[in-house]
Every structure is written in C-alpha cells, then in structure tokens.
A and B are shown apart, each in its own frame.
Chain A
Amino acid sequence: MTVNPNDHLISLIWKYGVYDLTEIERENILLPIIKEQIRNALINPHIRSYYEKVSMNPEDISSLADVPWVPVTMFKEFDLATVPADDIVKILRSSGTTGQQTSKIPLDKITIQNQNRSLSKILAHYLGPKRLIFIVIDHPEINDPAHEFSARTAGVRGLSLYARKTIYLLKKEGDYLTVNPEALEEIRQLDRGIPVYLFGFTWIIWSVCIPYFKKHDIHLHLSGGTLFHGGGWKNLQNIAVGKDFFTMNIRDFFGIPSYRVLDFYGMAEQTGIIFPDCECGYKHVPACAKIIIRNIQTLKPCGEGERGLIEVMSILPNSYYGQALLTEDTGRIIGWDGCPCGRRGVFFEFLNRVERAEIRGCGDTFRVDHGR
C-alpha cells in the first residue's frame, strides 16, 4: 500500500474543530496539503494531461481558488484514480440523480478512513458524542451491496456510521414504497424524547411518508430526533412545497422540532463531507473542505450573495482526484464568517441544479439523426 505523507496532516485537521476555521486559516492549512496531494495525483495520466494543458505546476499554486477543478460528471467518463490499482479496495458506482452513465469513484483504505472519520466528526457535531438509534426513511434494500450504489445508498451508508441500531421505516411493495407498519410500531415504542436521528430523501419523505401519516392520522413524538434530508427539491418546488412548509409537516407528523429538520447537501464524489443546515438555515464547511462559488460565465470566484456553481474542495480523497470538483449545482455565499449559529468560516446556501441544455430552434441539428 502506498504510504501517504499527508496522513498525519489530515488527521491533525480535526484538532482545529469541525467548524472553527476562518477562511484565512483554512487557506493556510489546506493549501499545502492539497498541493502535496496534487503532486501525487499527477500519477494519473488524465490529471497530468489536464495540468500540462493548462500549464499548471502544483508548485505554482498560490491559492485554493487556483487549483484546477474537474467537473463531477467526469467520473462517468474517466478513471481518475490517483493511487496504483492494487491499492483500490472499492469502487463506488453512483448513477446520481440523473440516472444515466455511472460515476466510478475508486477508493483506497486511506480515503475510506478519511471519509468515515470526517462523517463521524460532522455528525457528532450535530448529534452529540453518543451513538444513536438511526431511522432510515427508506427501504432496507437501498443498503444492499448487491444493488447499485445510489445517492440514497451513499447517504444511508454514510450516516450509518453513527448508528447504534438502524430501523428502516419503509418497505417495497412491488415497484412502490410504503410505510412498514412493523417498523412504525417499533418507532412508536421508543421512549418519548429519546435522541434518535433520521435520514431520508426529501421527495420520498414528502411523497410516501407524509401522505401515509396523514391518511392514518399518525403523529410520532420524536422530540429528541434530528432529521437529515436531501435531494428531490425540484419535485417539491414543482408542486410549490417550500422548505418551511416541508419542515412544518415534519414537525406535525414526526414531532421533530423545526430547528432539527436539517436539509443537507452532499454528493457521492465527495463522500465524507455533508453540509447540513445550521440552526439559522445555512450550510457550513467542515475543516477538511472548502467551498468556492464560481460565476457561471467568468468561472471566477463569486462575491457574497452572488449566485454561481458550487465547487467542493476536499483533502479527504487520497485515491482519486477529488481535491477540487465543480458541480452542476448553484449556490451563493451568505457570509464569510459570523453566522449567528456560532460556526466559523464561510456559510452558504444551495439554490438549484442547472437545467441541462436543451438545444432548440434551427440550431438543433444532429441530436435527432444525421438525415440524408
């Protein structure tokens, strides 16, 4: 196995606290680590090709914003492994939410350790030091290794790290999802106010769980619960369901206090990092990562409040080029420091995913057929 000279540095990062770095501190701490990781990443011919074509030498990188980023979708087309093949112990395959080509993310032991450690730290920050009962608002097969690794799987597996016991609230009936009455009863039997945490895909909670609870007049009393949910906001927006209305329904039917209904942002390509809402409704960046919002026209970092593409930088990946990944999601920086929740550093909000280009009009030529 390749020895990673950054191992000690990455483990040191947590000494700074999960959300205690200012942006200047983050820059100073992460930049040397990422530069070293890039030197190692040049073993990959694709990454080497990229750096050569943009005439970038890792030694010349003077700020995190200068690190060449790769669009996340490139994991669907290129092998971006940065360690020898023998070191890879697992390949994450994720279709994401678009459901077409599959992303392949090669993981070695170091990366898996880094990711697990990071997730534990982030979850501990929100849930406290003890392992808790984990209620998955999904069906058990979602975590079946025989099935494809989806964004939902990534969420369930990642958050399971903190679980003392896992209950799957839903079950599959043919192609449909519905509430599993036995699991529901098990949850009802839990002591009122017992600390638990829940995870579910926002759209599934809304379209499967809430209607069932309404129909059967079910009101849980999970006042000690914390719900992490994400994904599928576009569907909710299409039916004019906003974050506040969603949260209100969770409070009414699950009994979870509004401030512990945490919408989170994350992706399979950056497993180990999740961005849950803070009590003020904003997302914070853990010490091992950095967020840059890039102007979609100029590609330069945006100023405060300016909408742009979300770039997620991370020191966790050792086995693939995940140091700087540009997403197709948009967000905006709310502030560089000083969120009333007390967490330090930049805080931001997720806005939407950019709609794929649909070429229209007389310039729409070859997508149909080449014709005669």
Chain B
Amino acid sequence: MQKYGDAGIPSGWIMEDNIHIYAGGCVDKERYVESFTELIQELEENRRALFECPDEIIIHLFAHFGKEIIKDSSLAYIPGLSYLSLWLRKENLHAIYLANFGIKPGIRDSIQVDSRSEMIHVPRGVVCHWIAGNIPLLGFFSLVLATLGKNASILKIHPSVYKYLNPLLQKLEEVTIEIDRVSYSGKVITLSVSLVSFPGKNEIMSRDFSLSADCRVIYGSHEAVQAISCLPHQVHADTIVYGPKYSFAVFDKEAVESPEFSSMLKGLAQDIVLYNQAACSSPHTIFFEKSKMLLHDIAEQLKSAFQTLPERMFYPLDEGIAISVINTRARYLLDSSKDILLSDDLKWTVCINDTISLEEPVQGRCVFVKEVSDIDQVLPLVTRKVQTVALGMVDQVRKERYVRELAYRGVDRVMAPGAMHEFTQPWDGMLGAGRMVRWIAVVKK
C-alpha cells in the first residue's frame, strides 16, 4: 500500500474543493487528492485477497464482528448499533446470501442452468456508494451487501458520519477467527474499503468518482439521485438507486379491536422513534379503520406506547427539525378543528386529523393519525414513492388481498408494526447484493 503525507488541510464539516480520503479501511493516514486514480489502484490490488476468501469466512467474520461490537462499550454511542449486531447474525447473513445469490454460501459456487450449463457469480469490482447522511449506519449496511459479493467499496459519506463508520471499520479490522486451524482477519474485508468525502456539487470530482465505479449505489433525495444518475459512467457499470421513499401504517378494524393492538402500537412507536423518523422506512401517517375505539383514545394508546420506550432510544433532534415540530405542534394547538397529543419535551407528537392523505413528513417523531371508514380508502394514495407499509391486520385472506393491491400500486415492503426498519432483502424492490455481482455462464463438460 502506498503511503501519503498528510496534506494538513483541516476540513471539519466545511468541505474543501478536493477529495478527502479518510484514514480507515485500506488507508493508513488521511489525505487530500484531486482524483481517485491511486485509490482505485490500491483497491484493485487488495480486492484479490477478498475474492480468494471463502464466502463462508466472510460471513463468519461479519457475524463475529457483530457479536464484538455490542460488547464494546466505547461504541455504544453509535445509533443503531444493536440492530446492526442483530442483523449481522450468521443465520441472517446466510438468508441474505441465499436470497441474493440463489445458493447457500460455502456449498458450491455454481447454479445449474440446464443440463449443459451452469452459472457462477463474481464481483463487479469496485462499488462506489453515495451514502445519504440521514441514517448513520446506512453506509455499513451497504458495505456488507457489496462485500458479500466480494466487491471493493468506496463510500462517499457525509463528514458527520465518519465518527460512526470509522470506529466500526477499525473494530472489523481487529476481528480474527479461526476455522479448521486457519486464522482469518477482518483485514481481508477492510483492506478493500475506503471512506471519502468531496463536495457533491463539484462536477469534476463527481464525474471521476462515477467513472471509477464498476457498480454505482446511490442513496438520497430526488435531487441527489437525479444528479448522480446523470453522471457519466462505465458502460459495464450497473446503477442501483435507493431513492426517496415514504412509509406509513394501516390498521384494520379487527386489529384495532384485537388483544394484540397495544403491542402493535408499541412496535409502531419504536418504528417512529428510531432514526428520528429520518429513514425512508419511517412512518409519518397512520390510518385506523373505524372501530369501537375513538381515534382520540387510540392516540392516547399510542401516547402510552411512546411513554414505555426507554430514554436511550430518543436521540437529540436536528435543530431545524425541532423547529418544524414546534411549528407543527403550534398549528394543531391553535386550530380548534384539530386535535393533538404531545409530550412536554420534543420526544413525541401525535397530530390527529381526518383528512385522508399522506401527510408531508415533519420527522422528529411527529406522526399524523387518521380514521378511515374502510382501509381501502388508503389504496388510492399509494404511489411508487411508497416504500414500507406497516400492516396491522388479523384476517389472513383480507391481508393477502390487501398486500397484493398495495404491491401493485407501488409499495416495496409490507411489514409488521415494529419491524419497519428491518433491513430485509429485497429492499426498494431490489436484491441489492445480487445486483452487485456479475453472473457468468459456464458450459459443463
């Protein structure tokens, strides 16, 4: 690995007009450069070792790392750490692998196509990830998907998330496992990873980054996705877009009147609180089918659900979001036709109205609850921008029909309340890891 001198330019959060390659992963010391050429060369050299490493070992390393991070109190400040640890369980990674590659890891690296041919998957090469800054660990989840396909990764991150991602890379680097008397180190993964920042508005750097990719993974807002998608790229490079999405929840009458309703609401309260509602899988509107319970009483139950959540789940709000919540609260307090329940602080806000619409997200743990006479009234609101619907339904036949209708209209995920943020495969209608590999046809003898 080449060594570089520290350019000594303090960047802080004000991004300079150069590429900041952070220390961590394959990089010893932070550096500031004008092109990605040398970094790509390093990663191209290093990814060979990852390619040679058995799939099963990569999964073992991640699973072991998942157990270690939760024991390390110095990492406890990282939002979403316990979920990452759970997600990295071996069984879950096996399931993700199977869903994406159609085979179990470590068995035989080929799938039979017909009697004369089979197919195997190989990494695309270097995956360039544009990571949105709204979810601190988003970059790590994306990295794992790329690594399961044995790709090298460059993560373009917002400087504010470096403090979360770099300690995790350091921890992964320290992980060692021994299988069949052979020792493996997490370095085999981290040497194929780099974290970078540069101003997205800098067209030259953005083009260079895009052209460096064998596969582009874009997370972000409408504007970000549009801008990045238009950048020139290698003809062979695939582009995976995780664009802006909206999520909401629906409960039918039977669910509202069921004994499980309060536990469903508790799960939903967790979904609202996690990530301060900044995730695409965060619910902003909840529809309840008319039942014996008054909407205000349901909102009171949701309030109780918020109150049972542990203090540590409530992270400070972004100041601008806090102002939006304060103003939304005031609108509902001052408008005599509207109803609201709210905490003394900004922990949670339940706005109550009967307009059948998907409310503009306020974020900051501010949710809108509505009553509908029939949950079918919600269906016309669904567009391809809807990602996750948390569904509280008891009757399986009705649920199956409803899910099909939601899916037809654009919904990507139908989850249970409390499970909206589970990073399942597929996501946004795609098997991400499967898209990050090339499928090779091989004729059998």
Contacts and interface: CB of A to CB of B under 8 A. Distances in A.
Interface in B313-372: 316-324, 326-327, 330-336, 339-340, 344-346, 358, 360-361, 363
B335 A49 contact: yes
Of the four ranges (under 10, 10 to 19, 20 to 34, 35 or more), the interface on chain A belongs to 35 or more
Interface string B270-294: 0000000111101000000000000
B222 interface: yes
B219 interface: yes
Nearest 10 interchain pairs by C-beta: A361-B134, A361-B132, A357-B320, A362-B280, A364-B221, A49-B336, A365-B246, A46-B334, A368-B222, A50-B333
SS class, residues of chain B in contact with chain A: loop
B360 A363 contact: no
10 contacts: A53-B340, A74-B327, A299-B345, A361-B278, A362-B219, A362-B220, A363-B245, A364-B221, A364-B222, A365-B385
A278 to B, nearest CB: 28
B190 to A, nearest CB: 25
Contact of B335 (A46, A358, A368): A46
A356 B326 CA distance: 12
Contact of B244 (A47, A354, A356, A365): A365
Contacts of B221: 359-362, 364, 368
B133 A360 contact: yes
B333 A297 contact: no
A54 B245 CA distance: 34
Nearest to B344: A299
A330 B319 CA distance: 10
A363 B363 contact: yes
A61 B384 CA distance: 50
B80 interface: no
Interface string A41-56: 0000111111001100
Contact of B327 (A71, A299, A372): A71
Given A77-B331, A366-B361, A371-B383, 20 more contacts: A53-B333, A70-B330, A71-B327, A296-B322, A296-B346, A297-B317, A297-B345, A298-B344, A300-B345, A328-B323, A354-B323, A357-B363, A360-B133, A362-B134, A362-B135, A362-B220, A364-B221, A366-B358, A366-B385, A372-B383
Contact of A357 (B222, B244, B246, B318): B318
B223 interface: yes
B320 A354 contact: yes
A315 to B, nearest CB: 21
A178 interface: no
